[in-house]
């Protein structure tokens, strides 16, 4: 299903991204084993100790905005391009740098977003006046109509407007009649996971063989995610192309499974206090996922539900989101 506007019109995104955003490296904790045993243990520690999370809203496109050198700007992820960054400080810049629905959304954002100090990223949810929105895969049903002019979900701040900017998850901005700021910092882990879970994961992590290049192994795992069913570790290893079997061992996939299971324990313990109901294809759903609020953040997503849905979206349109 293609995303729609509040009035039900289909949207076809055209990405104007040249280079990735600074916070593109958010990864699933289970995939950390593909980058090293130490990274995997760091991910496990993050899952165990986390108490609060940022809610991952399924909005599109990504909007970057703020004030630099006393001047307001707005744009997509392309503001961070290494070559020809598309930073819009006036409506004429938007006309020059963007087209179609993206340009229309940026004009609304330029008009209604607050002139706040700092650099922020938010996901576009829609134009105010409605109660049901589907900017991407998930349909959101608010408790009551939102009458602000536009709706966005802020979640990240940046140190500077450059490809080298450092990102910090966890942003709270004040709503107004012009712009409704969705509160993305309202998820808690009740109760937090205990350190006993580390003992279950540790033996497989220690014995796991780390691939010299994670790309092909990650593609292999994602092929199962795309199908909606991930087999047991032994089968994953046995079905792996022979030319990659020397890169990993069974314990690589066991560690991946155990960290994934720990992630799902965390998902089961998360309580979101927002009153917004989520649906996919008219079936009740949870939020797309969460991001741990720390210096070492991970995205916490039920991949067999949401990653599969995003993998299998109509590819006639392209996301502009992280």
pLDDT in tens, the chain (322 residues): 344 444 433 343 434 444 445 655 689 999 999 999 999 999 999 999 999 999 999 999 999 999 998 999 999 999 999 999 999 999 999 999 999 999 999 999 999 999 999 999 999 999 999 999 999 999 999 999 999 999 999 999 999 999 999 999 999 999 999 999 999 999 999 998 989 999 999 999 999 999 998 999 999 999 999 999 999 999 999 999 999 999 999 999 999 999 999 999 999 999 999 899 999 999 999 999 999 999 889 999 999 887 666 655 543 334 433 3
- Determine the pLDDT at residue 317: 36
Longest dimension (CA), the chain: 60
Phi-psi map region of 118: left, alpha, beta (phi>0 left; psi -120 to 50 alpha): left
Which among 74, 121, 165, 65 is positioned nearest to 321, based on CA atoms?
121
In whole angstroms, what is the distance from residue 51 CA to residue 254 CA? 26
- Determine the pLDDT at residue 134: 97
Q: What is the per-residue DSSP string for 118-178?
A: EEEEEEEEEESS-SEE-SSSSEEE-SS---SSEEEEEEEEESSSSTT--EEE-------SS
In whole angstroms, what is the distance from residue 313 CA to residue 93 CA? 31
**Can you point out the beta strands (E) in 20-70?**
52-56, 62-68
Spatial CB neighbours of 38, under 8 Å, sequence gap ≥ 6? none
Pairing of strands 187-189, 167-169: unpaired
Which among 136, 108, 134, 109 is positioned nearest to 120, based on CA atoms?
109
């Amino acid at each position: 299903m293609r995303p729609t506007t509040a009035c039900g019109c289909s949207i076809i995104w055209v990405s104007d991204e040249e280079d990735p955003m600074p916070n593109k490296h958010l990864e699933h904790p289970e995939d950390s084993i593909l980058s090293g045993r130490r990274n995997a243990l760091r991910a496990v520690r993050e899952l165990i100790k986390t108490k609060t999370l940022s809610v991952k809203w399924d909005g599109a496109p990504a909007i970057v905005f703020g004030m630099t050198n006393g001047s307001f700007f707005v744009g997509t992820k392309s503001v961070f391009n290494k070559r020809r960054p598309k930073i819009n400080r006036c409506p004429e810049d938007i006309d020059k740098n963007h087209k179609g629905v993206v340009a229309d959304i940026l004009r609304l954002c330029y008009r209604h977003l607050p002139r706040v100090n700092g650099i922020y990223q938010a996901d576009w949810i829609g134009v105010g006046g409605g109660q049901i929105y589907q900017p991407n895969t998930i349909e959101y049903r608010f408790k009551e109509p939102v009458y602000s002019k536009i709706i966005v979900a802020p979640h990240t701040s940046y140190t500077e407007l450059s490809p080298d900017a450092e990102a910090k998850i966890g942003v709270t901005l004040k709503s107004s009649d012009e712009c409704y700021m969705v509160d993305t910092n309202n998820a808690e882990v009740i109760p937090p996971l205990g350190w006993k879970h580390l003992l279950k994961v540790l033996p497989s992590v220690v014995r796991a063989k780390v691939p010299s290049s994670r790309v092909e192994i990650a593609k292999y795992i994602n092929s199962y995610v795309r199908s909606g069913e991930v087999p047991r570790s032994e089968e994953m290893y046995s079905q792996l192309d022979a030319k990659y079997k020397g890169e990993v061992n069974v314990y690589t996939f066991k560690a991946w499974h155990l960290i994934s299971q720990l992630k799902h324990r965390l998902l089961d313990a998360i309580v979101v206090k927002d009153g917004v109901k989520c649906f996919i294809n008219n079936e009740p759903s949870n939020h797309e996922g969460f991001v741990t609020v720390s210096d070492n953040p991970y995205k916490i997503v039920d991949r067999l539900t949401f990653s599969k849905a995003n993998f299998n979206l109509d590819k006639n349109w392209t996301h502009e989101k992280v």
